[in-house]
């Protein structure tokens, strides 16, 4: 027996950064909003006395329990996809705040180039520069149009940073000054300056000073304690949804949060969504929550999955390259090189987003005329705080266990520095998401199937970025430098990056995209799909800054939709 509930203005599926932003903005505007979150409630108090590497970094306590739900994976459409049984290349968040609780906090703006990548590439290099199997698209919005929303998100989150010399126009400075420069960061800064590059401090949601945002929410000064990525912050010093937008929404009394509420279907009739069906995971009881507007604000992968499961929009077909749900699934070329030094650096101290960056090899900041790839990536030395279980780097040739390993792994613990990159991931017609025909979740619904591999574009870009990393480490004076220049096939096993993007992409054409520039579905005016699922490709940066900006724009669109009595916003 499905229980019917009273209609509300807005229902969000998932309550992390995007659900929190949508809820806060609409609840502040006086609309009643219900947030359905399938995980547990959590707050800063949950993280006190839990600086515990084994529990959070090795055993992934904050991540989704894969026994309930995972994804299946294959490299190519002719393979049989198999479930990701354990973590894992990427790490799925769970619970209130989602992955926004265990993130590192690096908060970029994408380059103006990213939003117009297709047209700028054709204009500058000609159509032949784009390989036939690369589904490169403009985003249906320009950087200038998105800029005010970037500014809003940065102010909500209290981002610390200094201006990117290659970045687009900024209407204002970062709300807080850059984080502290450490000896290791300084070495990277001095070296890259000598090499003719333009280093600057990476933008960070670990605020350099205590900050109160425009909603009156306080984020404490980062203590550089190192328990950041994969942890919740015990000091309220990492900007996340549970210390910012979610309490902002709750304080209005217009927002009702329901935890352990797992949405299984968006209900719809004749092109109009009527609400959602969800299961209370504590009782097994099913509910229907009617709403004027349904907003999908779960993680990238679940946004696509729920649309496919609900038969909303047209699924992407790689054979005919038609349809849009599941299309342009992209990732990140995230890797690093390492080198060893005589000096000991205090690398156990740090913060998730503490880093010195160069953007000289990102986007189209360098000429691609004679290069066999497009785009690039930011390159950096980051100091996230090294922990003893996970960091046992030894020079090449050292055995992986035994006396020499022990000696070297201890001796080198503070003497290894790594320089890394996050390369852009451009779409390929054979990289996509759909539903798995075999494997199901705990409730019996099909798992999402990911078909993804690295293609020639990725191999060539990764090799180029690896060469830059090697040059920088050499100039820094490292010995025993190890940089892998061969990306190989995508392998789901080693951790790489939780920067999954695409599947419900935005654009200016209903034929080639699923949502418009307000993230409103082209074929269902009252459904908005918010998140990195909207990225037509992934830039050479961490995605959350752009996710936050798009969420603020979507919130504005939803408000306009509700106050104007419906219709397409674009």
Query: Strand 527-529 relative to strand 286-296: parallel, antiparallel, unpaired?
Result: parallel
Residue 348 in contact with residue 184, Cβ under 8 Å? no
With CB under 8 A as the contact rule, the residue among 29, 82, 195, 281 that binds another protein is 82
Greatest Cα pair distance, the chain, in angstroms, is 72
Considering the rule CB under 8 A, would residue 389 count as an interface residue with another protein? yes
| 524 noted as active-site residue | no
Name which of 225 and 529 has its Cβ closer to another protein.
225
Q: How far is the CB of 346 from another protein (least distance, A)?
A: 6
- List, as one string, the DSSP characters of 202-236: PPBSS-SS-EE-TTS-EEPPP--BS--TTS--TTS
Please count the other Cβ atoms lying within 10 Å of the Cβ belonging to residue 125: 16
Contacts 24+ apart (CB under 8 A), 342-346: 342/415, 343/415, 344/414, 344/415, 345/182, 345/183, 345/184, 345/414, 345/415, 345/417, 346/182, 346/183, 346/414
Catalytic hit among 268, 499, 524, 537 = 499
Name which of 88 and 315 has its Cβ closer to another protein.
88
DSSP SS3 for 184: helix
Considering the rule CB under 8 A, would residue 59 count as an interface residue with another protein? yes
Number of H helices, E strands in the chain: 11, 22
With CB under 8 A as the contact rule, the residue among 410, 511, 560, 566 that binds another protein is 410
Q: How far is the CB of 232 from another protein (least distance, A)?
A: 14
CA atoms within 13 A on the CB side of 565: 0
Say how far apart CA 216 and CA 208 lie, in whole Å. Answer: 18
CA neighbor of 531 nearest in space, from 503, 508, 498, 568 = 503
Considering the rule CB under 8 A, would residue 388 count as an interface residue with another protein? yes
Name which of 82 and 570 has its Cβ closer to another protein.
82
Give, as ranges, the residues between 474 and 503 that touch another protein (CB under 8 A): 489-493
With CB under 8 A as the contact rule, the residue among 5, 29, 66, 122 that binds another protein is 66
Considering the rule CB under 8 A, would residue 349 count as an interface residue with another protein? yes
With CB under 8 A as the contact rule, the residue among 27, 84, 293, 481 that binds another protein is 84
Name which of 490 and 541 has its Cβ closer to another protein.
490
Say how far apart CA 360 and CA 198 lie, in whole Å. Answer: 7
Considering the rule CB under 8 A, would residue 50 count as an interface residue with another protein? yes
Segment near another protein (CB under 8 A), from 26-34, 217-225, 241-249, 538-546? 217-225
With CB under 8 A as the contact rule, the residue among 47, 153, 224, 522 that binds another protein is 224
DSSP SS3 for 109: coil
Determine the size of the site formed for another protein (CB under 8 A): 69
Name which of 142 and 221 has its Cβ closer to another protein.
221
Residue 176 in contact with residue 158, Cβ under 8 Å? yes
Residue 540 in contact with residue 362, Cβ under 8 Å? yes
Which residues of this chain interact with another protein, rule CB under 8 A?
48-54, 58-60, 65-67, 69-70, 73-75, 79-80, 82-86, 88, 180-183, 220-227, 235, 344-346, 348-350, 386-389, 392, 399-403, 406-407, 410-411, 413-414, 438-440, 489-493
User: Residues with catalytic annotation?
Assistant: 499
């Amino acid at each position: 027996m499905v229980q019917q509930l009273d209609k509300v203005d807005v229902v969000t599926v998932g309550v992390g950064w995007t659900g929190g932003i949508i809820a806060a903005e609409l609840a502040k505007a006086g609309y009643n909003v219900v947030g359905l979150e399938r995980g547990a409630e959590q707050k800063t108090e949950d993280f006190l006395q839990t600086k515990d590497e084994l529990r959070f970094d090795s055993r992934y306590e904050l991540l989704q329990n894969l026994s309930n739900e995972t994804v299946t994976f294959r490299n190519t459409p002719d393979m049989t996809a198999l479930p990701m049984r354990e973590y894992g290349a990427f790490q799925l968040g769970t619970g209130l705040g989602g992955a926004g609780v265990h993130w590192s906090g690096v908060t970029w703006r994408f380059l103006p180039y990213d939003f117009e990548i297709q047209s700028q590439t054709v204009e500058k290099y000609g159509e032949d520069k784009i390989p036939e199997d690369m589904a490169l698209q403009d985003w249906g919005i320009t950087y200038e149009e998105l800029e005010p929303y970037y500014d809003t998100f940065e102010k909500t989150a209290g981002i610390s940073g200094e201006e990117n010399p290659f970045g687009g126009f900024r209407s204002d400075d970062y709300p807080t000054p850059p984080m502290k420069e450490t000896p290791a960061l300084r070495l990277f800064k001095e070296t890259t300056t000598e090499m003719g590059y333009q280093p600057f401090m990476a933008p960070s949601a670990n605020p350099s000073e205590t900050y109160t945002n425009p909603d009156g929410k306080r984020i404490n000064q980062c203590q550089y304690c190192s328990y950041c990525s994969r942890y919740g912050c015990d000091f309220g010093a990492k900007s996340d949804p549970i210390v910012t937008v979610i309490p902002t929404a709750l304080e209005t009394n217009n927002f009702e949060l329901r935890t352990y509420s797992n949405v299984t279907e968006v209900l719809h009739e004749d092109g109009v969504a009527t609400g959602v069906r969800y299961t209370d995971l504590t009782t097994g009881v099913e509910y229907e929550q009617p709403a004027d507007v349904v907003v999908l604000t779960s993680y990238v992968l679940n946004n696509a999955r729920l649309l496919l499961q609900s038969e909303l929009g047209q699924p992407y077909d790689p054979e005919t390259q038609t349809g849009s749900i599941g299309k342009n699934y992209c990732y990140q070329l995230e890797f690093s090189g390492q080198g060893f030094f005589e000096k000991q650096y205090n690398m156990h101290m740090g913060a998730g987003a503490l880093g010195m960056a160069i953007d000289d090899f990102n986007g189209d900041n360098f000429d691609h005329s004679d290069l066999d790839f497009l785009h690039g990536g930011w390159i950096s030395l980051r100091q996230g705080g090294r922990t003893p279980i996970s960091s046992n780097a030894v020079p090449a040739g050292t055995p992986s266990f035994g006396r020499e390993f022990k000696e070297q792994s201890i001796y080198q613990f503070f003497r290894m520095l790594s320089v890394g990159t996050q390369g852009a991931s451009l779409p390929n017609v054979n990289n996509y998401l759909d539903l798995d025909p075999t494997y199901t979740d705990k409730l019996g619904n099909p798992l999402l199937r990911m078909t993804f591999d690295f293609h020639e574009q990725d191999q060539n870009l990764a090799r180029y970025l690896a060469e830059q990393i090697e040059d920088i480490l050499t100039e820094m004076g490292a010995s025993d430098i190890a940089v892998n220049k061969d990306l190989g096939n995508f392998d789901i096993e080693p951790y790489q990056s939780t920067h999954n993007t695409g599947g419900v992409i935005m654009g200016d054409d209903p034929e080639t995209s699923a949502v418009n520039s307000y993230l409103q579905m082209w074929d269902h005016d009252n459904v908005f799909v918010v998140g990195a699922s909207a990225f037509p490709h992934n830039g050479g940066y961490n995605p959350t800054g752009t996710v936050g900006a798009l969420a603020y724009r979507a919130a504005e669109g939803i408000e306009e939709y509700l106050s104007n009595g419906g219709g397409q916003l674009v």
